[in-house]
Structure 1
Amino acid sequence: MSELNIIEIEHGISYITPSESPLSSNVVAIEGSDDIWLYDVGNHPDVIEHLKEINCDGKNINIVLSHFYLDHIGNLDKICGLWKNDESQDKGHPQIKDRIKIYQGKYTYKHTNKGEIVSDDMYIDAGFHKFHIFQLPSCHSKGSVAMEVDGRYCFLGDALYPATKGPVREYNKSLLKEEINALEKIKAPYFMLSHKEPFARPKNVVMAWIEKIYKGL
């Protein structure tokens, strides 16, 4: 089993490294005095212990899920079970209340049955940080959601990767163009792609890479 580490991006913003065995995404943690924001929750069992090191205890937890693949959402029920404050039933779907809020696309919601669906751009001023949560067209997965923090970092999950159908990996040209157009509007100078190192990459480098792929289709 792969060993995980916590890497600090800057004070109060860190991430738990991804792994290949089991396949698990980067887990981003953004800390405030009373709140913590997570972007994806990974699938490696050790993520939970690392979150305890970051200190989620006693804090409100806001979780943004990039998409519904297991390596990004696998630990969700464990996190909700460990840190939840209350749970109620709404038409048979459990809704985590008070301490935990979950934001995701509609396709991810079909897998989690928890939290809120991101349909329009959300702008949240949490005091310690400002968040822009938005849908992002993606060849990799329907209903991808990205998160921009402080106009400086934009967390993209797997949204820039191709669709995978067995051994075949391919991009849809028109969908990729929509994604490029959406990313061009993002102000953040750093883009973060899950499973890649270095995690933080200059926007212009990422855009040049994805535009080269588009031109080659």
Structure 2
Amino acid sequence: MPASRPVADDYLKTIYHHTEWQGDPVTPSRLASELGLAPSSVTEMVQKLAAQGLVTHRPYGPVQLTDEGMRRAAAVIRRHRLVETWLVREFGYAWDEVHDEAEVLEHTISDRLLEGIAARLGHPRFDPHGDAIPDADGTVHREPFVLLARADAGHTGRVLRVSDRDPALLRACEEAGLDVGHTLTVVGDGTVSIDGAPAIALPAGAAEAIWVTA
């Protein structure tokens, strides 16, 4: 029996997101951890997705999107990130409040409404966290990047993305001025200068949650 559309889309979106900002493919065990599901349930679903031609997988190997799986995942990601952007711009949501709302709305709004939202927003290329919003054809526009934790001392780059995984960390980054668009210079281990200001200590976990231009 084919996987239900919303469930399958959540899997495809998670696989897409895992490899978006780093190169390591996702394993079934990692996928189970990210989805909060039992490994046996994930294995069964991956087999269904493979049967539908949406992923490739061999025993004990990584799970990878096929071309069709990539197109469908990009479409789901587009919905999610446009809704997040819409909620922030039009309804005054904070960037740490939109993820759960978007998770619900992405499965319910029509294609017509989605494209109306995109037009209303001026067809944005990035959501409030800096994640790229795929075009309607799946094309993604993204600059070369480096994870802040891997940037050498003296590296200067513009903040491209702040992970939305931890709402508390998002709030801490915003309070410190570490949101998308600001320019950071790595001063030393755990310290940065923001837009040329005196160095500050990074909030705990921020170096592993911020990507800057390479």
User: Which one has a larger percent strand, Structure 1 or Structure 2?
Assistant: 1
Do both share a fold (TM > 0.5)?
no
Q: Structure 2 length normalisation: TM-score?
A: 0.24
Q: Between Structure 1 and Structure 2, whose CA radius of gyration is higher? A: 2
Q: Structure 1 length normalisation: TM-score?
A: 0.24
